[in-house]
Structure 1
Amino acid sequence: MCPEPKVVEKIVVKTVPATAGELNLPIIGEIENVFVDPPGIKMEARVDSGAETSSIHAENIQMIERDGIRFVRFVIPDPKTGEPIDMEQKLARTVLIKRKVGEPERRYVVKLWITMGEIKENIEVTLSDREDFEFSFLVGRNLLTDTAIIDVSRKHTRK
């Protein structure tokens, strides 16, 4: 006669790695918090490997010239209060953005320090009207390449 079978329960705990790939890059989610400096604000951002350049929502964008150097004046609404933050940055370049519908759009590009967890880079950021988008900041490949791996099933992996 066979003994009565025993029910054995095995609990497997999987730890999700924080880094991956040959370069041991950090894994980030499709939505992350970024610190933008200047102006020194924290924003929730959409991570998009399909976008070549990162982009920030800006209003009242104007190009000015001072002593032969071109600058861009613009306003970034504070993500917490909505209060306008006046900015002025040296113009890095202009870019022509091809859109699915309508005419191409010329945008100004400035350099800003972007921090996402342990990642900190001084990158080019296009100034655009992102009012109709859920996120005011879009992280593009110019911050991601050789810096991070995206796992779209995750959010807020960086503090």
Structure 2
Amino acid sequence: MIAAQTPYGKSASAGDPATRPLLLGWREWTALPDLGLHLIKAKVDTGARTSTLHAFYVEPLRRGAAQSVRFGVHPLRGRLDVVVHGEAPLLERRRVCDSGGHREERCVILTRLRIGGREWPIELTLTNRETMLFRMLLGRGAIAGHALVDPQLSFVTGRPVRPARCYGAD
């Protein structure tokens, strides 16, 4: 493997494996453990600033001064019978421009991403991606400082170990 330069000027193949950037392909298996999403396929998109999670409903909630959001996810494409309901503190509302140039205000949450045996917090916007091939889009803001992307590769990090009967769809 040819060593790649990181934004920090060091070779990606040098140093401690736990601290060097993770190598990702253009699509990867991920998990969002705080949301109960133990297996979700994501498109790694360095052209997108923000990461996005498919949510077929989004309900803002207010409990006293705290704001949160409840949402439903179909984690498996083409399986509307498989549903994971999530709830997370609302970080903010943000106007986002999608790949088609349409502007939309979205709820933003902060949650842990698990990929390639590593975890770190990422911001996610919630929107309906029912017609899209991937339920999750992993944008450059989420991978900056953590990973390098080789667009010629796919599923470099492998499929994560998942609990038995994940989503009840085995």
TM-score normalised by the chain length of structure 1: 0.81
CA contact (8 A) 2:58 2:71 kept: yes
Q: CA deviation at 1:103?
A: 5.1
Of 7, 27, 47, which residue of structure 2 is paired with 1:31? Answer: 27
- Give the greater-gyration-radius structure (CA): 1
Q: Which residue of 2 aligns with 1:20?
A: 4
Q: Alignment partner of 1:143: what SS? A: helix
| Native 8 Å contact 2:28 2:154 kept in 1 | yes
Q: List, as ranges, runs of 4+ consecutive aligned residues in structure 1 with deviation greater than 3 Å.
A: 99-103
Residues 53 and 124 in structure 2, CA contact (< 8 A), matched pair in contact too: yes
Give the corresponding residue for 1:123. 122
1:140 to 2:154 alignment:
no
Provide the aligned C-alpha RMSD in A: 2.0
Give the aligned partner of residue 52 of structure 1: 49
Deviation at 1:132, TM superposition (A): 1.4
Per-residue deviation, residues 78-136 of structure 1 (Å, max 9, x unmatched):
42854221111110111101246575210000111111103311111000111111000
Residue segments in structure 2 that go unaligned for 5+ positions in a row: 13-20, 159-170
Aligned pairs, how many? 143
State the 1:67 CA deviation: 1.3
- The aligned counterpart of 1:42 is 39
- Kept after mapping to 2: 8 A contact 1:59/1:129: yes
Residue 163 of structure 2 is matched in structure 1 by none
The answer to whether 1:91 aligns with 2:102 is no
Which residue in the other structure is 1:68 paired with? 65
Equivalent runs, 1:72-83 vs 2, <5 Å = 72-79=69-76, 82-83=81-82
Runs of 5+ unmatched residues, structure 1:
1-15
- 3-state SS of 2:142 partner: helix
SS in 1 for 2:91: strand
Identity of aligned residues (%): 24
Secondary structure of the residue aligned to 1:75 is: strand
Mapped partners of 1:102, 1:62: distance in 2: 25
- Output the TM-score relative to the length of structure 2: 0.76
CA distance in 1, matches of 2:155, 2:68: 33
